[in-house]
Amino acid sequence: MRSHFLKGLVVSLAAVCAPVIADQIEYSVYYFGDNANNTVATSAFSLAKTLWQRTMVLLDVELDQTTVPPLDGVTGASRPPRNSKSPFRKNRGQIIGGVEQGLGDNTRLVGSYYFSQEVDYQSQAFIGGISQDLAQKNFTISLLGQYTVDSVGEILTDGSILNRYKETHQASLSVSQLLSPTSVLRMGADAMRIHGFQSDPYRKVVIPTSTPLVMDTITERHPSMRYRQAAWGEISKYVADIDGAFIVNYRYYWDDWGLKSHTATFTFNKYITKDWILSPNYRYYDQVGAEYSDYAHGGTEVYDASDYKLKTFGSNGAGVGLTCFLRTFGRNHPDWDFLTNSSVSVLYNRYFNDLAGSAFSANLLETRIRFSF
């Protein structure tokens, strides 16, 4: 699995560019490992700082290392065939810089630039958005646009790199409505157009040739155009009697490759004490795979669905988080007043799917410290 794809799972780029309420500094560490011995270790630093009045700068820096095990026959691992008997390790760096500008009390503009680099992949994106508060700040509408250019590289057997082009246009619309002092409704829609190389240059597939009993191994190929859409809704409700909050989220996705999916996520944030929050969560995912599984070997278009992410399957994810507000340690220590708006969080998630013949499971561990000021 490519590390840039993992990042998409862990934290949305749009979240970095969303309106920020307060100045804050955050440091996070992630560790990902799956049942095929692929691992990713990540550290990230982010800053949101008000320079003057309604102008805020945003900065996010991330470094990670991906390790892919040795190759064994035909595999879908995202690694080159060179030194196939040894683990393949590569480092990746990412930086996001942006500015948020308030226009009056109810309007915010945001613009950001994203860049990431690894030995065989480079990506950059330009992001812009606007957020508007209405009805005495009880209703908020936000619009975000993003243009991304990727250079998808393949390390060849002689050590040289073959690069392929991909570009993405994306737009997101979201609304937030305060239903009561203790409940919030959020809804949104996303649309994406992807053009260019969308396969994994290292994934090999076995297909029948013109002679049914003879098999051939070829490099994976996907269509060069893809339109993706999604609609989602989320409701958050705080219940005073149990001193906890429920968050329920549903997302429906479909694209022109025939893939459709449903995602339901449930989170419960429970105050154990006024300074400790326990957060169990559960995620259910169900997908109908892409429909272009017919092969035309030897023709100009050879499409396949060997990537498990394009097949029909269901998956489950469950985890638990624990957050500590550091003010609990500063109450009796006036010199520790800087901890008043700080917190430390630890989150563990377990993922597994039911794909016959190639079931996939993974663990994700995240730790985060946040200072708000």
Helix or strand or coil: residue 44?
A: strand
pLDDT in tens, 249-277: 999 999 998 899 999 999 999 999 999 99
Q: Which residue type does 296 have?
A: A
**Which residues 6+ apart lie within 8 Å of 285 measured at CB?**
261, 262, 263, 314, 315, 316, 317, 353
Q: pLDDT category, 13, cuts 50, 70, 90?
A: very low
The whole-number average pLDDT for the span 65-91 is 76
Q: pLDDT category, 199, cuts 50, 70, 90?
A: confident
What is the Cα–Cα distance from 94 to 303, expressed in whole angstroms?
32
Give the per-residue pLDDT at 12. 36
Q: Given phi > 0 = left and psi -120 to 50 = alpha, else beta, which region is 372?
A: beta
| Cβ count within 10 A of residue 270 | 15
The pair of structure tokens assigned to 208 is 């029948």
| Cβ count within 10 A of residue 344 | 13
Q: Is the pTM of this model over 0.75?
A: yes
The pair of structure tokens assigned to 65 is 């290392």
What is the Cα–Cα distance from 70 to 121, expressed in whole angstroms?
20
The pair of structure tokens assigned to 329 is 């340690």
pLDDT in tens, 97-116: 999 999 989 999 999 999 99
pLDDT in tens, 224-247: 899 999 999 999 999 999 999 999
The whole-number average pLDDT for the span 133-146 is 96
Give the per-residue pLDDT at 341. 86
Q: pLDDT category, 355, cuts 50, 70, 90?
A: confident
Q: What are phi and psi of 126, to 5 degrees?
A: -120, 130
Q: What are phi and psi of 8, to 5 degrees?
A: -60, -30
Give the per-residue pLDDT at 91. 95
Give the per-residue pLDDT at 231. 98
What is the Cα–Cα distance from 200 to 5, expressed in whole angstroms?
12
Give the per-residue pLDDT at 204. 75
The pair of structure tokens assigned to 114 is 């994203």
CA atoms within 13 A on the CB side of 115: 5
Nearest to 164 by CA among 120, 113, 226: 120
Domains defined for the chain, CATH in brackets: 3-372 (2.40.160.40)
The pair of structure tokens assigned to 307 is 């990537």
pLDDT in tens, 215-225: 667 777 788 89
pLDDT in tens, 167-196: 999 999 999 999 999 999 999 999 999 999
Give the per-residue pLDDT at 123. 97
Helix or strand or coil: residue 210?
A: coil
Give the per-residue pLDDT at 301. 54
The whole-number average pLDDT for the span 202-208 is 74
Element (H, E) at 330: helix 327-330
Residue 143 has pLDDT above 90, yes or no: yes
| Residue 180 CB burial class (10 angstroms; 0-12, 13-18, ≥19) | exposed
Give the per-residue pLDDT at 339. 81
User: What average pLDDT does the chain have?
Assistant: 86
Give the per-residue pLDDT at 287. 94
The pair of structure tokens assigned to 353 is 């799917």
Give the per-residue pLDDT at 64. 95
What is the Cα–Cα distance from 125 to 14, expressed in whole angstroms?
11
Give the per-residue pLDDT at 294. 47
What is the Cα–Cα distance from 51 to 23, expressed in whole angstroms?
10
Residue % of the chain over a pLDDT of 90: 63
pLDDT in tens, 299-334: 445 566 567 788 889 999 999 999 999 988 877 777
